[in-house]
Structure 1
Amino acid sequence: MKVSIPGGFALLLLGAGGVHAQQASRLQVGAPVPATLAADATLRYALDLPKDHFVAGRVDQDGVDATVTITDPAGKNVVKAARVGRGGPETFAFATDAAGRYLIEVTPATAGKGGALRVQLTRSEPVATTPAGKVDQAAAQLYEDTPGAVVGVINGGKLTFVKGYGAADLTWAMPFTAGTPTNIGSSSKQFTGFAIALLASRGKLSMNDDVRKHIPELKDFGKTITVRNLLTHTTGYREFINTLLIEGRQVLQGDYIAPDEVIKVINRQPTLQNEPGAEFNYNNSAFALATILVERVTGRPFAEWMRDEVFLPLGMTKTWVRAHPGQIIPRRSAGYVAGEGGFREVQDLHGSMGAGGIYTTPGDVAKWMGNLKTGKLGGPAVIKELTTSFVLNDGKPTNYGYGVSLDTNRGLRRWQHGGNDVAHSSTFVYYPDLDAGYVVFSNYQGVPGGIARVAADAFFGQHMTAPETATTGAAVDVPAATLERYVGKYEMTTLGGMLMTVEMEDGQLRLQLPGQPALPLRPTSMIDFEVVGAPARITFNAAADGAVDTITFHQDGEHSGKRVVETAAAVDLTDYTGRYYSEELETFYDMRVEDGQLVIRHRRFGPAVLTHTSGDSFSGTLPVNLVVFRRDAQGKVIGFDAGNGRARDIAFKKVSG
């Protein structure tokens, strides 16, 4: 049975368990079709489509956790959606590269578990050709009953395009709009950097001041750590949020972090992680200290001073520093994560002020971008300070100013930053040579990661070189044999030894980060992939013979990783069992062998499996990504050093076992 859909193309139901033929007549754009997915069945729907056609839809998982796969006429995967879990909608969207039959397949995400669902096509139309239309299609998977996003395009300090998609608050069915204040996470750092530079320009402090001049209770490590080191991630301090995770705090589940805990974490640190100015190590501790510094210098609360001295003078009336997750921000977006039964609302991160915590709108950011050009507030010298790369002790530039990443994108100079809280995420991009840019703010990190890329290409592609492929969502065709070469485990040498796993499922690569769900990798070239659902990219560095021994992970800078070659050499895991104690964190860990694997436990989390990488080194999942055991002169294990990238070399001593 065929049913016509917009554009005159045919949709038909193929034979499948759990769906009867008469249901095909109801499967059309705008009409959800109830169905029952049997535990061992596959629902298959076919779309006969022309080239350059766009389709979007959703599968509402009323009683089953389902996986949605779209294949093209050649049988290659175009989309695989399996991110939300039972109870929420699995959404999909794709554009056709060729005319022919495209299959929509719905299968149980868990073998042997079926249930009720509804299948719906929401859009079927030609691929958009206008910038606004391209962004609309990139955001087509955001619905009124899903978390959402807002996209703003700015030119000359004015909004030239802005549109909200999805919901800002699911409880009250409040839509995302141009005026919805949204948590921009670490994109807030540029405002903190500007505040310090502004105070320096007014003679209230010097960038070369020892931080302890303003915060004397900070521990003296015998090295001068300057105010400039704070704003450039070059202090050598432990990252306090990551440190508290290792301590056992359930930070991502809403555990309270007091504003002064950053000082306590640093003061318990026995030594610096690196010489000040010697290493760029992305670090929220320093920006949290910067807020304390502002308060000491001005005698006023940071949030109040920022509003009176930065936001209101620029006309940013819908921008706030949220000093505490309980602070009310009128008509703000709530944050969401995927959970059993659908989406779950979560609190913002405690203790994030300065490093994050700013709520704003695209309209207010347009005014901020205008000041980046004019320097009306602060003057050109302050803007230059903010956007000049720090140079490490060895003479290498970090390509990072005071809370601003500095790079070149497709031939255009770019000042940019990404941000993530527990749920919210943001992309901030400004092209100084164009006096233009764009932002994408969302309240769910599962929002399609390609929206920002599409916005950049659609509105600024004419100014760029070497345009990227797949801007409308169609995948680059990377041969399966090439994808197989990328599969493996990679130890991130600049992220504290964190282990990243690249796996392949049903012909698609997925990236598994410690403690996080696997996210699909979408190719943008033969070696470059974007992480779907996160503001990150990964590049596979292929040698002349095609072997891939290293990768580059692009998020808040460029991070190198090397392939882990797992050997068959036997390791006596019982050497590592026992109880360990960290004097610095005042916390215990237990190591046990369970089912042939080394397992780490804490009283507030666990068990978590540790994977042997080499020697006495093991990788794991958050909160402990790296464990390196220490032995005495007789070869007996006496302790280990733990780390998770931004906090590292935290010593634990074996106390029993």
Structure 2
Amino acid sequence: MKKLMLFFIIFIYQTSVAQIHQDTLALIEKIFERYQATSPGCQLAISQNNRIVFSKAWGIADLEHRVSLTTESIIEAGSVSKQFTAAAILLLQQTGKLSLNDDVRKYIPELPDYETVITLQHLIHHTSGIKDWGSIMAFSDWPRGTKIYSNNDVLNILVHQQSLNNKPGDEYLYSNSNYVLLSIIVERITGKSLEEFTRSFIFEPAGMKHTQWRSNLNRIVPDRAIAYRKSNSTYFTDMPFENVYGNGGLLTTAEDLLRWNNYFLSGKLGSPSLLPNQLSVIALNNGRKNAYAAGLRIDSLRGWKAIMHDGATAAYRSTLEYYPDLKLSIAWLSNTSEFDGGREGLTELRDLLLKDKSPINGNAKIDTILVAPKILTTYAGWYKDRLTNTGIGLIVKNDKLQTTNGKILVPIAENEFILGSSRIKFQSDQKRPFYIKDENGVIYENVEEADNSPAILKDCIGEYYSDEVEAKLSISIENDKLVIHRNSNTKFTLNATYKDGFDIENSSIRVLFERDKKHKIKSLKFTSPRVRNITFKKLQ
């Protein structure tokens, strides 16, 4: 083990072997000492040239029974699971059982006909436009985690959806529904569950002796680590109590994940090797790059090419990363969400193992200009993203154009500005005095400012029902604001943005009220990061 570690450190750092070896081990221990011996913890395994050179576990697997976490403890891998579902589909294509160009309705005819073809290719690369099932149910009385859902339940949810998020192939928009559908397709084609198929054709050939799926939450899984979240100073059990799998649900170990990396990256999956298909990315309809391959992200970290995916289910967290130029793999699994927000130690680990060779562009000079305040004033007002209903308010303050929350728009031309990391341009046509278009082609239309007068808000009061989520809600006014009430006794305050547009307080959810020809409210639509336009019709 020590010899392998020495080789590993020499390869990466090319410097004093003894000193670096000792320091690196000490630094890894220092990074992960945040996982204390009496708290939930993590597994970390590292391989170099397809050989495991470091593997250790920290913390507790089961707080109630005080069972320590080991390198053989079973931890759920969240969305790292997706690459195995994609691999199953690619194996079936290789044997002629399906084609990635097939219409998904060939295998799942229950799905609505959206008058556009959605292919298996779209599902794999998250460009289908099919809404994320968990995000849909967040608007119901039974959000994910409050009811035991299965893959068939997910299909039933999707059958009720009256629209797509986007035209297939137009956008990359992550959706767990895509991979649940792929799981169902494997079962319908082979007559075997995804669990049975992957065990025979992936897990066993790859030597993943500890790996299985959470297809039945009531099944006893020896050595499984319980997942925990922390609130204030107290830990609470936070497990994925559902039978949905294929999008997530892989039960595994960090060492097994490294065995998988060794297997498929060595070209051993499929005959001939399916590796090129696994790493293949497909451009969007407009030719723009989509970096999502077959359940894998083709990315770059610290200037190094990376093949990777992370995951989160309930309080489980995970990542599996491979850096081909270094022949370096990192697998990390944790049974706690305590360190969310980049505090789990992975950033420091990458800093330690990967010399930063990112292009130095922090001091890149931007040529700015001065724009007359009277011109800036013409741009002021409210704009709405026509896809997500997100509102942006612009004002002129101290002769500068800025958002209502204080972000400055830096002018680089009379009608072009830098906002954060985006470049936006003000344009006009015969229909609109001004609209905003960003570098990704997203259009923000000019809309009227919000009117919070009692008469306007009163028009929104009432009960609403959605066929898409089979749920009802009611809206009232409290403290001069609209409030949504659910049957689960939860309520959400709405903050006005533009006319008939609102944000749910302390969330990323947008609400847009729609009016009929008589200007009366007829419905409302919810949009969140993974679903757009979930419609609730106003009841008379």
Equivalence for 2:64? 171
RMSD, aligned α-carbons? 3.3
**Which of 641, 644, 647 is residue 525 of structure 2 equivalent to?**
641
The separation in 2 between residues aligned to 1:646 and 1:155, in whole angstroms, is 36
Q: Classify the secondary structure of the residue corresponding to 1:417.
A: strand
Is the aligned partner of 1:599 residue 2:483? yes
| Contact kept? 1:495, 1:646, Cα under 8 Å | no
Equivalence for 1:454? 348
How high is the sequence identity, in percent, across the aligned residues? 29
TM-score by length of 1: 0.65
Equivalence for 1:268? 160
**Which of 330, 334, 338 is residue 230 of structure 2 equivalent to?**
338
Total equivalences in the alignment: 461
Cα 1:560/1:446, change in 2 over 3 Å: farther
Equivalence for 1:86? none
The separation in 2 between residues aligned to 1:566 and 1:155, in whole angstroms, is 58
Is the aligned partner of 1:196 residue 2:82? no
Post-superposition offset of 1:402: 1.1
Cα 1:499/1:285, change in 2 over 3 Å: farther
Give the residue type in structure 2 aligned to 1:187: V
TM-score by length of 2: 0.78
Give the residue type in structure 2 aligned to 1:365: L
| Contact kept? 1:212, 1:218, Cα under 8 Å | yes
Q: After superposition, where does 1:308-323 map in structure 2 within 5 Å?
A: 308-323=200-215
Give the residue type in structure 2 aligned to 1:452: L
Q: After superposition, where does 1:81-160 map in structure 2 within 5 Å?
A: 130-160=23-53
Cα 1:167/1:190, change in 2 over 3 Å: same
Q: Classify the secondary structure of the residue corresponding to 2:46.
A: strand
Is the aligned partner of 1:366 residue 2:258? yes
Cα 1:318/1:455, change in 2 over 3 Å: same
Gaps of 5+ in 1: 1-127, 470-490, 501-539, 553-557
**1:23-45 CA-partner distances (Å, limit 9, x unpaired):** xxxxxxxxxxxxxxxxxxxxxxx
Post-superposition offset of 1:262: 2.0
Post-superposition offset of 1:569: 6.1
Q: Classify the secondary structure of the residue corresponding to 1:461.
A: coil
Equivalence for 1:181? 74
Post-superposition offset of 1:282: 0.3
**Which of 137, 140, 148 is residue 256 of structure 1 equivalent to?**
148
Higher share of residues assigned strand: 1
Post-superposition offset of 1:583: 2.5
Q: Classify the secondary structure of the residue corresponding to 1:164.
A: strand
Is the aligned partner of 1:580 residue 2:464? yes
The separation in 2 between residues aligned to 1:196 and 1:267, in whole angstroms, is 22
**Which of 328, 336, 353 is residue 220 of structure 2 equivalent to?**
328
The separation in 2 between residues aligned to 1:410 and 1:214, in whole angstroms, is 42
The separation in 2 between residues aligned to 1:561 and 1:362, in whole angstroms, is 43
The separation in 2 between residues aligned to 1:459 and 1:559, in whole angstroms, is 38
**1:587-609 CA-partner distances (Å, limit 9, x unpaired):** 21111111222111110242111
**1:116-140 CA-partner distances (Å, limit 9, x unpaired):** xxxxxxxxxxxx9823322222222
| Contact kept? 1:184, 1:419, Cα under 8 Å | yes
Q: After superposition, where does 1:311-460 map in structure 2 within 5 Å?
A: 311-339=203-231, 342-379=234-271, 381-447=273-339, 449-450=342-343, 451-460=345-354
| Contact kept? 1:618, 1:628, Cα under 8 Å | yes
| Contact kept? 2:450, 2:496, Cα under 8 Å | no
Cα 1:238/1:416, change in 2 over 3 Å: same
Give the residue type in structure 2 aligned to 1:338: K
The separation in 2 between residues aligned to 1:541 and 1:147, in whole angstroms, is 43
The separation in 1 between residues aligned to 2:82 and 2:539, in whole angstroms, is 41
The separation in 1 between residues aligned to 2:389 and 2:325, in whole angstroms, is 38
**Which of 193, 212, 215 is residue 301 of structure 1 equivalent to?**
193
| Contact kept? 1:639, 1:654, Cα under 8 Å | yes
Higher share of residues assigned helix: 2
Is the aligned partner of 1:292 residue 2:176? no
The separation in 2 between residues aligned to 1:628 and 1:304, in whole angstroms, is 45
The separation in 2 between residues aligned to 1:407 and 1:640, in whole angstroms, is 38
Post-superposition offset of 1:259: 1.9
- Of structures 1 and 2, the one scoring higher in RCO (CA 8 A, sep 6+) is 2
